[in-house]
Amino acid sequence: MNKIYILFVILCLGVCCCKQKTAEAKEQKPIVSAPQFVADSAYAYTQNQLDFGYRIPGTKAHKECALFLAEKLHDFGADTTLQHGKVMAYDGSYLNITNIIGSFAPEKQRRIMLFAHWDSRPYADNDPDKGNHKKPVTGADDGAASVAVLLEIARQIGLQNANIGVDIIFFDAEDYGTPYFYTGEEKVEHDWALGSQFWTMNPHIKGYRAEYGILLDMVSGKGSSFPVEQVSKHFAPHIVKKVWDKAESLGYGNIFPKSNGGSVIDDHYYINMYGIPCVDIIAYHPNTATGFPPYWHTVNDDMSNIDRNNMKAVGQTVLEVIYNE
Ligand code: AHN
Ligand code: ZN
C-alpha cells in the first residue's frame, strides 16, 4: 500500500516538473509583436508596377519592372537574386523568364517562403467582349497587388527583424497558360506557373528548404474574400489552420471564412510537389462562372478594383503569422 502511495507521489511530482519545464521553454521564446502593415504603401507599390506597362515576358516593361522589384527588395535589406531561365510556353515557343528572390536573415535555419507571381497575362481571354481577348491584362489584382503586399511586408521586416528567416519570391510567367482561342498543333502540358516550375527544378539554393510557404494571388480585389483553397487544404492543412486561425483572431474572419473555396493549379501546387507545404490565399467568387473575380483576365483588372482594406487584412495576417514564429 505504502509503496503504491510513494509511487503515486513520485509520478505526480514528475508530471508537475515536466509541466513547469514546458512552461519555461515557452517563456524563453522571445515575444516580438508584429509591425503594422501600411496599406497605402502597398497601394502605391501596385501603381508603381502598373506604371511600367504590361509585365509580359520578353517585353521592355517586363525587364524594367524586374529591376524595380529587385531594387526594392535590396533597399529593404534583403539579399536579392535575379534568377534567369528559359521555359517552354503552351505553344512550344521559348520564354526568357526572371524569378526575383529576396532573403531576410539568410543564415537562419528556420525559414518561411512567401510568394506571388509578378508577370501579367498577355491575353484578356475571359473578357465579355471577344474583341478584347487578344489584348493584354493590366493585372492590378492578378499579379501586381499581391507583389505589392509582399513588398510592404519586406519593408516591415527590414525595419524590424523577425525571429525566423523569410524568403520572398516573385515568380515569373505564372499567367502564360493556353488562351482559349489557341488552335495550334503544339500543346504543352503544365502551361501555367512556369516560373515556379522552373524554380523547383533549379532552386536558388541547392536543396533549399522552408518550413512552409504562403502564396498570395488576387488578394486585393473589392468584394473578394478568401475561403480555404482546396489544394492548400489537401497538402498543408496545418498551415491553413495557422493562417486562417490568425486572421480570425485579428477580426478578419469575414474576409478569411473557413468554408471551402475553389481548387486551383497555381504556383503553390508546384511548391507543394517540391516538398514545401504551402497555402494559397486566393479570391473565390462563388457567383462567377470561373470562381475568380468578375474582372479576372479581362481588360478591367485595373486600380479601380483595388481595395486597401483587403490589402491590410492579408498583409497584417501574414505579418502576424511571421512574427509569431
Ligand atoms: C488556372 O486557371 C489553371 N490557374 C489559374 C491561376 C491563376 C491565373 N491565378 C491568376 N491567374
Ligand atoms: Zn491570371
pLDDT, tens digit (0-9, with 9 covering 90-100), for 18-64: 445 454 455 555 566 999 999 999 999 999 999 999 999 999 999 99
Q: How far is the CA of 278 from the centre of ligand 2 (A)?
A: 19
Strand, helix or coil for residue 85: strand
d(CA 50, CA 120): 10
Strand, helix or coil for residue 77: coil
pLDDT at position 12, please? 47
Specify whether the CB–CB gap between 217 and 114 falls below 8 A.
no
Q: What is the mean pLDDT of residues 260-282?
A: 98
Task: Name the closest-CA residue to atom 3, ligand 1.
Answer: 265
Specify whether the CB–CB gap between 114 and 136 falls below 8 A.
no
Q: For the chain, what is the total number of helices (H) and then of strands (E)?
A: 9, 6
- Cα 132 versus chain centre, distance: 29
Nearest ligand to the CA atom of 266: 1
Q: How far is the CA of 36 from the centre of ligand 1 (A)?
A: 30
Ligand 1 and 125: CB distance under 6 A: no
pLDDT at position 4, please? 53
What is the number of the ligand 1 atom nearest to the C-alpha of 142? 10
Angstrom CA distances, 9 to 1, 6, 14, stand at 13, 5, 9
Angstrom CA distances, 21 to 9, 26, 32, stand at 18, 9, 22
Q: How far is the CA of 194 from the centre of ligand 2 (A)?
A: 13
Ligand 1 and 172: CB distance under 6 A: no
Mean of the per-residue pLDDT values of the chain: 93
- Considering only 27-41, 158-172, 213-227, which range has the smallest mean pLDDT? 27-41
Q: Which residue has the cell 498551415?
A: 239
pLDDT at position 16, please? 47
Ligand 1 and 266: CB distance under 6 A: yes
Q: Which residue has the cell 527544378?
A: 201
CA nearest to 195, candidates 279, 272, 116, 277: 116
Residue type, 3: K
Q: How far is the CA of 126 from the centre of ligand 2 (A)?
A: 10
pLDDT at position 2, please? 57
Task: Name the closest-CA residue to atom 1, ligand 1.
Answer: 265
Q: Percent of the chain at pLDDT above 70?
A: 90
CATH 3.30.390.30 correct for 37-323: no
d(CA 161, CA 132): 46
Name, in order, each residue with C-beta under 8 angstroms of 231's C-beta and a sequence gap of 6 or more: 263, 264, 265, 266, 268, 269, 272, 280
Ligand 1 and 217: CB distance under 6 A: yes
Q: How far is the CA of 22 from the centre of ligand 1 (A)?
A: 44
pLDDT tens digits for range 64-116: 999 999 999 999 999 999 999 999 999 999 999 999 999 999 999 999 999 99
Q: What is the pTM of this model?
A: 0.91
Angle at 315 between CA 206 and CA 140, to 5 degrees: 90
Angle at 66 between CA 38 and CA 305, to 5 degrees: 45
Give residue 128's pLDDT band: very low, low, confident or very high (50, 70, 90): very high
Q: What are phi and psi of 243, to 5 degrees?
A: -75, -45
Half-sphere exposure of 304 (CA within 13 A, CB side): 5
pLDDT at position 5, please? 56
Nearest ligand to the CA atom of 122: 2
Q: What is the mean pLDDT of residues 220-231?
A: 98
d(CA 277, CA 274): 9
